[in-house]
Structure 1
Amino acid sequence: MKVTIDQDKCVASGQCVMAAAEVFDQRDEDGTVVLLNANPPVELAADVRQAAVLCPALAITVDE
């Protein structure tokens, strides 16, 4: 699994962090998404997919 983010699309809703805190974080100054792990382990796959679905800006891409 390969995860990419588009910080320009991010609206800082925090849904990704709530779904997969091991993979996503937010910048303190503006809440923009920060990718902590572009290749998360298989046990986090469902959480990462959920984060991508929940993102209102569609800023997360997951390639299997």
Structure 2
Amino acid sequence: MSAESSRQLVWRKSSYSGNEGGECVEVAATSGSVHVRDSKDVRRPHLSVAAQGWAAFVAFAAAD
């Protein structure tokens, strides 16, 4: 994804993240991928993951 396209993403911070400036990530979803970035340094490159891979990650993280 180009830098210009990256600016058009709608980033969302986790509801578990506080406003104290701690460690947290933001995600932005598109039709085929999920983008993840460090909320403390949004100018750095972000990670792009296929939607299926993100779904598998979330399912694994939510499992007991």
Alignment TM class, shorter chain as reference: under 0.3
Greater CA radius of gyration, 1 or 2? 2
When normalised by structure 1's length, the TM-score is 0.25
Q: Answer 1 or 2: which has greater strand percent.
A: 2
Q: Greater relative contact order (Cα 8 A, min sep 6): structure 1 or 2?
A: 1
